[in-house]
């Protein structure tokens, strides 16, 4: 049995479920990701569209978008991160409770995108550890949903205890 | 439309004004010490009640007068614009009287102009940077400032300690937003295809 399987065969096991802590904890985590919408530019509009009825992110258990970092565990950085805003993004990330994940949505958040200039940080991974990057300018809601499903897979394959605290990783140059 | 009678009488009324060549709107050159009284009379006497824009020009290092400010006023009576151009006398510490008292809309425009060009607006109610952070040491729209930026520490010491992040010159080559060299828009879009040079490594001649 692998770490991300949750198996129960009632005929064999009766009322007892035998599994692994990782499998159960990750199963709980990945089906109720509460995103923190860090909407900084036009990507945030696509983010809103993916929360609305046509694309409906709640099919994946992520409809509870909280604007309070204390209540969130996945920061979706949707938009251009300027150097002036970088400090704020990092502070909000620090205020989120562990375990937490980051999705860099779109070209700007991933690499600086079209903004090759003095004012824009060339990728949010300079200040926070990014789990999933989404390409596009802006990405379509389907692309974001695909990224969130990828994130669910990633959460499912993590060691749930070892990744409890991820506050100090520094991005690669 | 701004008619010729009006522009003639305006130049006559304010002897310190001179007309500047312009391809579109009537443009006057106004000495910096007269700018407050002139804009006040434009607002109160001539019906130019709307400030459309306030910005500056960097004519380049080595010019006799390096910086000048430009004010665009609009009149709902005349249905037209007047552009006011004033030279900053000091090239090293450029300054200009603030018109924020006369047009409150100028408040943020002047802050942005200060932020981007380093022109100090005298008697401005709140002259501090509006786009870049307060400690930023450069004025990005000056001619000598490279588009990519200059190595600069970020303001928050605790965040920098954890992330080791700082302002680094942005790469200028390649990238996803580079257009092809053919097509109707190819002249107006970024099209640096040569990846052998960056802001750090000079482009070979």
Checking ipTM against 0.90, whether it exceeds it is no
Condensed to tens digits (0 to 9), the pLDDT of residues A93-139 reads 999 988 889 999 999 999 888 888 889 999 999 999 999 999 988 99
Partners of residue B164 in chain A, C-beta under 8 Å: 170
Kindly report the CATH number assigned to the domain that includes residue B116. 3.30.460.80
Neighbour-count burial for A71-90, b at 16+ CB within 10 Å, e otherwise: ebbbbbbbbbbbbbbbbebb
Condensed to tens digits (0 to 9), the pLDDT of residues A22-63 reads 888 888 888 989 999 999 999 999 999 999 999 999 898 888
Residues A90, B162: C-beta atoms closer than 8 Å? yes
Is pLDDT above 70 for A4? no
Minimal CA–CA distance to A154: which of A51, A49, A74? A74
Kindly report the CATH number assigned to the domain that includes residue A128. 3.40.50.12280
- Owning domain of residue A127: 33-155
Whether A120 and A70 share a structural domain: yes
Condensed to tens digits (0 to 9), the pLDDT of residues B74-126 reads 999 999 999 999 999 988 999 999 999 999 999 999 999 999 999 999 999 99
The answer to whether residue B176 neighbours chain A at the CB level (below 8 Å) is yes
Among positive and negative, which fits the CA dihedral A104, A106, A110, A115? negative
* Number of structural domains chain B divides into: 2
The answer to whether residue A121 neighbours chain B at the CB level (below 8 Å) is yes
Name the residue with higher pLDDT: A13 or A97.
A97
Whether B113 and B13 share a structural domain: yes
- Owning domain of residue B161: 146-191
Whether A56 and A6 share a structural domain: no
Is pLDDT above 80 for B199? no
Asked if residues A106 and A132 have their Cβ atoms less than 8 Å apart, the reply is no
* Number of structural domains chain A divides into: 2
Asked, for residue A166, whether it belongs to a domain, the answer is no
Whether B23 and B110 share a structural domain: yes
Condensed to tens digits (0 to 9), the pLDDT of residues B21-62 reads 999 899 999 999 999 999 999 999 999 999 999 999 999 888
Partners of residue A127 in chain B, C-beta under 8 Å: 159, 163, 165
Asked, for residue A56, whether it belongs to a domain, the answer is yes
Partners of residue A118 in chain B, C-beta under 8 Å: 138, 140, 145-150, 167, 169-170
The answer to whether residue B174 neighbours chain A at the CB level (below 8 Å) is no
């Amino acid at each position: 049995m692998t770490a991300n399987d949750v198996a129960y065969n009632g005929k064999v096991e009766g009322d007892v479920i035998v599994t692994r802590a990782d499998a159960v904890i990750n199963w709980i985590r990945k089906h109720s990701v509460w995103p923190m919408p860090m909407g900084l530019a036009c990507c945030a509009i696509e983010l809103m569209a993916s929360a609305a009825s046509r694309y409906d992110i709640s099919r994946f258990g992520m409809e509870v978008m909280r604007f309070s970092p204390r209540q969130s565990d996945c920061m979706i950085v949707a938009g251009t991160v300027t150097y002036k805003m970088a400090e704020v993004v990092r502070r909000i990330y620090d205020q989120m409770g562990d375990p937490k994940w980051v999705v860099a949505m779109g070209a700007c958040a991933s690499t600086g995108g079209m903004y090759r200039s003095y004012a824009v940080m060339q990728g949010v991974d300079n200040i926070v550890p990014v789990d999933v990057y989404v390409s596009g300018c802006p990405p379509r809601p389907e692309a974001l949903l695909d990224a969130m499903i990828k994130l669910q897979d990633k959460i499912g394959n993590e060691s749930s205890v070892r990744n409890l605290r991820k506050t100090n990783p520094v991005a690669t140059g | 439309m701004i008619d010729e009678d009006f522009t003639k009488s305006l130049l006559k009324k304010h002897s310190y004004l001179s007309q500047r060549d312009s391809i579109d709107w009537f443009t006057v050159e106004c000495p910096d010490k007269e700018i407050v009284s002139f804009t006040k009379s434009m607002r109160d006497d001539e019906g130019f009640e709307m400030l459309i824009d306030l910005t500056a020009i960097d004519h380049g290092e080595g010019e006799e007068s390096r910086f000048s400010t430009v004010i665009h006023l609009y009149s709902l009576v005349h249905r037209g614009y007047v552009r006011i151009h004033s030279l900053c006398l000091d090239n090293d510490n450029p300054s200009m009287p603030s018109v924020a008292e006369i047009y409150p809309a100028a408040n943020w425009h002047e802050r942005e102009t200060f932020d981007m060009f380093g022109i100090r607006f005298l008697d401005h109610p709140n002259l501090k940077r509006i786009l870049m952070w307060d400690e930023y040491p450069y004025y990005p729209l000056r001619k000598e400032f490279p588009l990519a930026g200059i190595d600069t520490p970020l303001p928050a010491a605790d965040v920098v300690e954890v992330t080791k992040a700082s302002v680094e010159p942005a790469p200028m080559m390649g990238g996803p937003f580079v257009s092809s060299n053919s097509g109707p828009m190819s002249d107006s879009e970024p099209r640096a295809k040569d990846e052998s040079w960056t802001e750090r490594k000079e482009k070979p001649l």
